[in-house]
Amino acid sequence: MPTAALMRGATAALRPWMTYPAWTAMGLILLATALLSPQMVARIAPYPFLFSLVFLGLPHGAWDHRVVAAAGGRHLSLRHLMAVCTIYLVLVALYGVLWLAAPTPAFVLFIVISWLHWGQGDAAYLHLWSPVPAGPPSWLTWLVRGGAPILLPVFRFPEEFARIASGVTGLFGPARAADWLPPPWVRGGGLLLLALLAAAYGILLFRAFRRGSGSDRTAAREDAAEVALLYLVFSVANPVLAVGIYFCVWHGLRHIGRLLLLDTRNRALCAEGRVAAAGTRFGGQCLPILLASLGLLAGAYGWAVRDSSGTPDGLFVYLALISCLTFPHFLLVCWLDFRQNRRKQDKMSPRSHR
């Protein structure tokens, strides 16, 4: 099968796996919010993060050691693996040093990186599965779609944000929840900013819808519906529950889909309709780095226990570790975006058709 046809077949086979579970998960969050008491929701809220340790959440970044080689169509050599892992560990350690030296800036930077990275993930998903010609630019997609699961809970549920922020920074020094409560003008300004960005996004989608036809209009409708769904969920749902589920079933799953298309063998399996087989193979490829990450988490928790007068909340330790891992992961995905966009532009240039 020609490469272009194989890519189209793999993309078509993968799309339902990347889309419908994410929509269903958001619907279940809304259902739980409507049917369960706030106390019950608060009790079950941390469990998606526990689930993310071994499925979709943490593992979605455990393929990073293969990204550079796969993007270049090269075999993963031992030399390449050692080089990538060394750079990765250095960047993780640098972020760990930042936590020790300045926990407040480290947490704020984690929020900013997560905002951009989760929006970045959706931009890549849209580019692959439902591109809208002349729709919103990628940078606006980053801000709007990443703003729903990251910034909206900060401004809608400031007390819960302050509890989480003080809990994570409290692992590295004295911290009070009151110091993390955004003042009313910040909450109001933040919500207004998100509303303006979402309105601009919607206007651009509406213009693309008016100018398009057929599949272009369908893509614009789905894009707008997803944004509306995300903003509804993160406006009303328990933020810990919503973020934990989004991390696994929305962001993690969609990034895995992108990586399956990057690998030659996994892409071929998807094109044959064997998506589950490709996912199983992907999981096996992730296993060594995933086990190493879990080892880091165990070590971090042991350090926190030794350095604390009480038993630290495992969720806070996990978030601190995720922040360290997200830093190089975000940089790597930025590199992948740049490389793939440049290759696309090279193929579209007149010189490439000579």
Instruction: Convert 65-92 to b/e letters by CB count within 10 Å (16 or more is b).
Output: bbbbbbbeeeeeeeebeeebeeebeebb
* Other C-beta atoms lying within 10 Å of the C-beta of residue 33: 16
pLDDT of residue 349: 56
pLDDT of residue 345: 66
Residue 243, pLDDT > 80, answer yes
Q: Which residues contact 267 (CB under 8 A, 6 or more apart)?
A: 6, 7, 10, 260, 261, 278
Tell me the pLDDT tens digit for each residue of 115-138: 999 999 999 999 888 778 778 898
Kindly report the pTM of this predicted structure.
0.91
Per-residue DSSP letter, 81: H
Helices (H) and strands (E) in the chain, counts: 15, 0
Model confidence at 175, pLDDT cuts 50, 70, 90, reads confident
Tell me the pLDDT tens digit for each residue of 315-334: 898 999 999 999 999 999 99
Model confidence at 352, pLDDT cuts 50, 70, 90, reads very low
Contact 288, 97 (CB under 8 A): no
